[in-house]
A and B are shown apart, each in its own frame.
Chain A
Amino acid sequence: GAGVSQSPRYKVAKRGQDVALRCDPISGHVSLFWYQQALGQGPEFLTYFQNEAQLDKSGLPSDRFFAERPEGSVSTLKIQRTQQEDSAVYLCASRIEGGWLTDTQYFGPGTRLTVL
């Protein structure tokens, strides 16, 4: 069956450009997470949605990062005025219910962002 998909898979941006990264979660999944993964590191939490509500954005590194999920399905992570330190893999994960405990989080393949 269809898993979590992300697009684009690779994105190269010049410093100062705005980028938008898309996540298509598994249909019907309530929870959606965004993570940032720097080279050689584990994923770091960015933000969490339950349906269309953004319940936690404490991991967003600056006000240049913005995420939305307006209809409770597809989500977009937007980065304004990209900086070199934004270069990383951005992972999206979805889960059938709110919370993590008993159900698996399903991760997408990630979008590799390179800022020149």
Chain B
Amino acid sequence: DAKTTQPNSMESNEEEPVHLPCNHSTISGTDYIHWYRQLPSQGPEYVIHGLTSNVNNRMASLAIAEDRKSSTLILHRATLRDAAVYYCILVESGGYQKVTFGTGTKLQVIP
């Protein structure tokens, strides 16, 4: 499985934008980039996904590098409720897509 590399932890001030990076230099042409987050004592929840183009939804934006070897999850205004572990995952198209989570980035939001 293609691997992703994320910083172990990041801090952000409340109401400021947060940029969470992910490196995936071995990504294949058919891999989608998914982001999930896990709040304390909860299961992971879907945030956003993309293939080549930047994506926006109500939770976040996903910026994908032109060579697809890296991506950035953007939270436009961090709130205390955004404190979580964020996982960047590569998902192969086709089949049922067994996925591999890494250790993720633990985001701390400072009031």
Contact = CB atoms under 8 A, between A and B. Distances in A.
Interface of A: 4, 31, 35, 40-45, 48, 50, 55-56, 58-59, 91, 93, 98-101, 104-110
A30 to B, nearest CB: 10
A99 to B, nearest CB: 5
Contacts, number: 58
24 contacts: A42-B85, A42-B104, A43-B44, A43-B101, A44-B100, A44-B101, A45-B99, A45-B100, A48-B96, A48-B98, A55-B96, A56-B98, A91-B43, A93-B43, A99-B94, A99-B97, A100-B91, A100-B99, A101-B94, A101-B97, A104-B46, A105-B46, A107-B42, A107-B43
A99 B96 contact: yes
A109 B41 contact: yes
Contacts of B101: 35, 42-44
Q: Main SS of chain A's interface residues?
A: loop
A99 B98 CA distance: 8
B51 to A, nearest CB: 10
Contacts of B41: 109
| Size category of the binding interface on chain B | 20 to 34
Nearest to B97: A100
B111 interface: no
A40 B98 contact: no
Interface in B78-111: 85, 87, 91, 93-104
Interface in B18-74: 32, 34, 41-46
Given A41-B103, A42-B87, A42-B103, A107 B96 contact: no
A91 B42 CA distance: 9
Contacts of A55: 96
Contacts of A110: 42-43
